[in-house]
Structure 1
Amino acid sequence: MGERVCVGAIAGAFGVRGEVRLKSFCAQPEAIGAYAPLYTEDGKRSFTVKLGSPVPNGLSARLSGIASREEAEALRGTRLYADRDKLPSLPDDEFYHADLIGLTVLDTGGTELGRVTSVQNHGAGDLLEIQIPAKGSALIPFTLAIVPTVDLASGRVIVDPPEGLFE
């Protein structure tokens, strides 16, 4: 999946004519339509997207090849991916979550702490989940104060965690 980035998910059917309720993970929710075709995680299916109106927790959308409520409902929970080259480039201080996952985590002294396994957001900002060998995992705020350096070219992040977090 390195060449594709998850941009949304199908939350279920909307109406009776095959429309879906689409959750967009894009900064501008309606931008998801510009990244089509969108692919399933396994890459076996692709869809063109015609966005409808905003609906609670998403957008209504018509996906190519989906003509009935039953077909739309069968796609519930399907994550949709866009080719990376269709996505806009980001400023130097912003990153796609997919780029952060798998990076090696080092402290400010150069000691390896673990790897980034996920990026989560529960409403108060992004958190990096760090898998620490033989210790489990820890969540750290993805802020400039705690993560001063993200070096995608070297595949690493430098963290200055709060005292005692990794002990």
Structure 2
Amino acid sequence: MSENICVGVISGSYGVQGELRVKSFCAIPEDIQNYTPLTDEAGKRQFALAILRPIKNGYSARLPEVKTKEEADALRGTKLFAPRDQLPSLPDDEFYHADLIGLEVYDTGGELLGRVKTVQNHGADDLLELQLSNTSATTFLPFTKAAVPTVDLATGRIVADPPDGILPTPKSAPSED
């Protein structure tokens, strides 16, 4: 399991005084500032983030070293990571997205469907993007108890019962008349 968890992303500048737009991935969004210092994905840069106020789609925030709009814009797209040991432990039926990525997904009959490529959330439930086995195709699986009854982090395995229409239908052999 990853030692660092992505807790947010810098989405650009806010205003002209070096403030940043920050999107938090935390359950309590403003908690992102409590996990300082945050780091970039490589762990090379550290950020002492201070939330100023809520804005549309996130927060206005300040970093001590960022003084201009241009410096803030240069950080656009920077993912913010916190050490796993600073984050709250989760109930048994909740997972950090970083822990799901890369897990093998099997159907209820034991057949390998693929691997979790990403976890997406566009406002409703989470969706697991599966890289399907033996193909370059991907599909989205709702991350609900009905569609994903079992997540076993210890074995790196997910058991899924995909709703009809989620998986591509195999091409049948042409019928001979």
1:153 lines up with 2:145 in the alignment: no
Q: Which residue of 2 aligns with 1:64?
A: 64
Per-residue CA deviations over 1:74-102 (Å, capped at 9, x if unaligned) read: 11121111111111111111111111000
Specify which structure has the higher proportion of strand. 1
Cα distance in 1 between the residues matched to 2:41 and 2:151 = 27
Bigger mean CA deviation after superposition, 87-96 or 17-26: 17-26
CA contact (8 A) 2:112 2:133 kept: no
What does residue range 4-153 of structure 1 map to in structure 2 within 5 Å? 4-135=4-135, 136-153=137-154
CA RMSD between the two structures: 1.6
Bigger mean CA deviation after superposition, 94-103 or 123-132: 123-132
CA contact (8 A) 2:10 2:75 kept: yes
Where structure 2 has 5 or more consecutive residues not aligned to the other structure, the ranges are: 170-177
Higher Rg: 2
Cα distance in 2 between the residues matched to 1:111 and 1:23 = 38
Cα distance in 2 between the residues matched to 1:113 and 1:78 = 32
Bigger mean CA deviation after superposition, 121-130 or 142-151: 121-130
Work out the number of aligned pairs and report it: 167
Supply the AA of the counterpart residue of 2:145: L
Cα distance in 2 between the residues matched to 1:161 and 1:22 = 34
Supply the AA of the counterpart residue of 2:105: V
TM-score with structure 2 length normalisation? Answer: 0.88
Q: CA deviation at 1:16?
A: 2.9
Consecutive aligned runs of 4 or more in structure 1 exceeding 3 Å deviation: 163-167
